[in-house]
Chains A and B, each alone.
Chain A
């Protein structure tokens, strides 16, 4: 089998405009089968719009995509039984119980009568919903709702799961459990596309694309992305972080400064050959007590660097 055939999603020049706003701008995407693919990007970067186009909810203004070998949105009807979609907002019925919600979804997918009860039993157990079975979905906690939503999304055993910021209203413990479920699904052969704005989640993905202002600014595995960044990262330990931040901010070469407690992560383009002495000199001149060291890039640095670049390009244009 060719590489092409192993792609769950292939998008070329996918574009969506809303009036003057270009929400998704010529997005090229190759998502291999059976992996967890992440969409990392800030709010308004076009993650939701891209996902909606991929499942045929929105018509692209330009370009197109092939999902599970089917062209969208033309073949959306054939595609729908094969995908599971979890919306950003909880979109099940708050005034129905867990059991009733699951039955409703099973009906919608015309799940055969015989298999229905069995499948629901299986899901209730798998997603740990035994105690909530007769509880109204509206009264459940964020984590419980998430489990129910995922159970509903996978009820029809889809080959592709599209999850739009699935964990934005969930505590860290529930989030970990949730990801464990996702890995299990991917192992079983399901392709998962998940959007997020959490770095720790992005780090768990097999591959990811960083989106900014509707454009894909980087993609690859988290490790590849970290290795390929075009920024030198200097970590500065200082007591008076505010003063250091002001002094370093004056340097034209500094692309970005992020504070993490008493540490500052300073991003300098790798076109500057000796970034560390540069920083040291500034600190010495201002006679600030601080320790600077060259470190390897974290995913957050990659994200900051990637989204920065895009802004500068835009300003230049």
Chain B
């Protein structure tokens, strides 16, 4: 037992993990699990532009459930924003809003909701019952159901539709990172590396040689997941399958590069696996895979933006569910590309062709 403790003490990384993992878990779970979703990115198209409608929009803002980021002119623009994944909820106020408010038979406004995440839809449904409290001078009949909710993309509220596109990201993160994280350390442990670096092969060649075959494996995995998702769970692919593969290739490259970098830092395969899980955990929790990204505190969101999985999940949901063209989400793709490049460069620099 003493020996076990001694060895643990020597292995500084494992020691850090003992402290780091529980702290990180508590922080992540504490901040990420947030059942009352707030600050959902939203847009408003106020076609009435009346005193009443402006008052109404101000009231909505007060609820803190919505974060009004865009003001547009038409519901079509809202749809475009929804499709691009810029917003989760759009509010359309028709030109005859003032009359609709006092008309029981017609909805006063429309809530256009990205229903991919069932939780966002339920938030929208809660908003529906928000009492309209206008100023006393007009005092319309207080009534519930002033909104009509229009769910987009996943009207049946099936969770498989929500989960599977994100799951592609999680599975690829785990498998791809593990492949390369172990790759260099294994050769180091087996002594192959000493031989390799003594040959004329260059570091860049070595790194590319380690990444390229696994991109192909990643693509095979992607095909497998979407095939199963399609056949068993009827998950749609509404957008271009080519876009999906393109996005996945960049994402896989980013993960492989990250794994490669990990591999140049750690000393043993065991450490490589530990680090992989250390990165996988936030990839599951704060990437928007299970918990709505908008609901998390700002700091955690920034952290999430650093993870490639966050961007990839936005891409897969966009392409598969919302038929979003890749061009509309170019910054996500760019983020992945930049990540891959930075990680690859870091790995190449870290991996010196010398032993000291």
- Interface, chain A (partner B; CB < 8 A): 52, 55-59, 73, 76-77, 80-81, 83, 85, 87, 89-94, 105, 108-110, 152
Q: Please judge, given known A-B contacts A91-B191, A92-B192, A94-B190, whether A57 and B197 are in contact too, CB under 8 Å.
A: yes
B residues in contact with A52, CB < 8 Å: 355
Within 8 A of A (CB), among B237-291: none
Offer 7 A-B interface pairs, CB within 8 angstroms, sorted by A: A57-B194, A59-B354, A73-B354, A87-B191, A89-B191, A89-B194, A108-B200
Within 8 A of A (CB), among B157-189: none
Q: Please judge, given known A-B contacts A58-B354, A58-B356, A59-B356, whether A93 and B198 are in contact too, CB under 8 Å.
A: no
A residues in contact with B195, CB < 8 Å: 85, 87, 91-92, 152
**How far is B193's CA from A56's CA once the two chains are assembled, in angstroms?**
14
Contact across chains for A85 and B198 when beta carbons are under 8 A apart: yes
Contact across chains for B200 and A80 when beta carbons are under 8 A apart: yes
The distance from the CB of B207 to the nearest CB of chain A, in whole angstroms, is 14
Most A CB contacts (10 A, CB to CB) among B190, B195, B201, B353 go to B195
The distance from the CB of A317 to the nearest CB of chain B, in whole angstroms, is 27
**How far is B190's CA from A90's CA once the two chains are assembled, in angstroms?**
8
- Interface, chain B (partner A; CB < 8 A): 190-201, 353-356
Contact across chains for A58 and B191 when beta carbons are under 8 A apart: no
Contact across chains for A108 and B192 when beta carbons are under 8 A apart: no
Contact across chains for B198 and A55 when beta carbons are under 8 A apart: yes
Residue in B closest to A76 when the chains form the complex, CB atoms = B353
A residues in contact with B355, CB < 8 Å: 52, 57-58
Residue in B closest to A60 when the chains form the complex, CB atoms = B356
Pick from B190, B200, B201, B354: contact of A91, CB under 8 Å: B190
A residues in contact with B354, CB < 8 Å: 56-59, 73
The distance from the CB of B277 to the nearest CB of chain A, in whole angstroms, is 26
Contact across chains for B356 and A91 when beta carbons are under 8 A apart: no
Say whether chain A's binding surface is mostly helix, strand, loop, or mixed: loop
Say whether chain B's binding surface is mostly helix, strand, loop, or mixed: loop
B residues in contact with A55, CB < 8 Å: 198
The distance from the CB of A67 to the nearest CB of chain B, in whole angstroms, is 12
Q: Please judge, given known A-B contacts A57-B194, A87-B191, A93-B192, whether A108 and B356 are in contact too, CB under 8 Å.
A: no
**How far is B195's CA from A83's CA once the two chains are assembled, in angstroms?**
12
A-B CB contacts (within 8 Å), total count: 49
The distance from the CB of A78 to the nearest CB of chain B, in whole angstroms, is 9
**How far is B356's CA from A90's CA once the two chains are assembled, in angstroms?**
21
Contact across chains for A80 and B198 when beta carbons are under 8 A apart: yes
Contact across chains for B199 and A91 when beta carbons are under 8 A apart: no
A residues in contact with B190, CB < 8 Å: 91, 93-94
Most B CB contacts (10 A, CB to CB) among A58, A89, A91, A105 go to A91
The distance from the CB of B205 to the nearest CB of chain A, in whole angstroms, is 9
Q: Please judge, given known A-B contacts A58-B356, A59-B356, whether A77 and B194 are in contact too, CB under 8 Å.
A: no
The distance from the CB of A61 to the nearest CB of chain B, in whole angstroms, is 9
Residue in B closest to A77 when the chains form the complex, CB atoms = B200
The 7 closest A-B pairs by CB, nearest first: A91-B195, A89-B191, A91-B191, A85-B198, A80-B200, A81-B200, A108-B199
Contact across chains for A110 and B200 when beta carbons are under 8 A apart: yes
Contact across chains for A109 and B200 when beta carbons are under 8 A apart: yes
**How far is B200's CA from A55's CA once the two chains are assembled, in angstroms?**
12
7 more A-B residue pairs beyond the given contacts A87-B194, A108-B196, with a C-beta to C-beta distance below 8 A = A57-B198, A57-B355, A89-B191, A92-B195, A94-B190, A108-B201, A152-B195
**How far is B227's CA from A154's CA once the two chains are assembled, in angstroms?**
49
**How far is B356's CA from A83's CA once the two chains are assembled, in angstroms?**
20
**How far is B191's CA from A152's CA once the two chains are assembled, in angstroms?**
15
The distance from the CB of B143 to the nearest CB of chain A, in whole angstroms, is 73
The distance from the CB of B190 to the nearest CB of chain A, in whole angstroms, is 7
A residues in contact with B196, CB < 8 Å: 108
Most B CB contacts (10 A, CB to CB) among A55, A57, A93, A110 go to A57
**How far is B197's CA from A55's CA once the two chains are assembled, in angstroms?**
10
The distance from the CB of A71 to the nearest CB of chain B, in whole angstroms, is 15
B residues in contact with A76, CB < 8 Å: 353
**How far is B333's CA from A126's CA once the two chains are assembled, in angstroms?**
54
B residues in contact with A59, CB < 8 Å: 354, 356
The distance from the CB of A65 to the nearest CB of chain B, in whole angstroms, is 15
The distance from the CB of B300 to the nearest CB of chain A, in whole angstroms, is 41
**How far is B194's CA from A81's CA once the two chains are assembled, in angstroms?**
15
B residues in contact with A110, CB < 8 Å: 200
B residues in contact with A81, CB < 8 Å: 200
The distance from the CB of B186 to the nearest CB of chain A, in whole angstroms, is 11
**How far is B356's CA from A59's CA once the two chains are assembled, in angstroms?**
7
The distance from the CB of A31 to the nearest CB of chain B, in whole angstroms, is 18
Residue in A closest to B356 when the chains form the complex, CB atoms = A58
**How far is B198's CA from A73's CA once the two chains are assembled, in angstroms?**
12
**How far is B353's CA from A108's CA once the two chains are assembled, in angstroms?**
15
The distance from the CB of B327 to the nearest CB of chain A, in whole angstroms, is 40
Residue in B closest to A110 when the chains form the complex, CB atoms = B200
**How far is B198's CA from A226's CA once the two chains are assembled, in angstroms?**
36
A residues in contact with B200, CB < 8 Å: 77, 80-81, 108-110
**How far is B200's CA from A109's CA once the two chains are assembled, in angstroms?**
6
**How far is B355's CA from A56's CA once the two chains are assembled, in angstroms?**
9
**How far is B307's CA from A205's CA once the two chains are assembled, in angstroms?**
58
The distance from the CB of B187 to the nearest CB of chain A, in whole angstroms, is 9
**How far is B356's CA from A31's CA once the two chains are assembled, in angstroms?**
25
The distance from the CB of B180 to the nearest CB of chain A, in whole angstroms, is 17
Residue in A closest to B195 when the chains form the complex, CB atoms = A91
**How far is B355's CA from A58's CA once the two chains are assembled, in angstroms?**
6
A residues in contact with B198, CB < 8 Å: 55, 57, 80, 83, 85
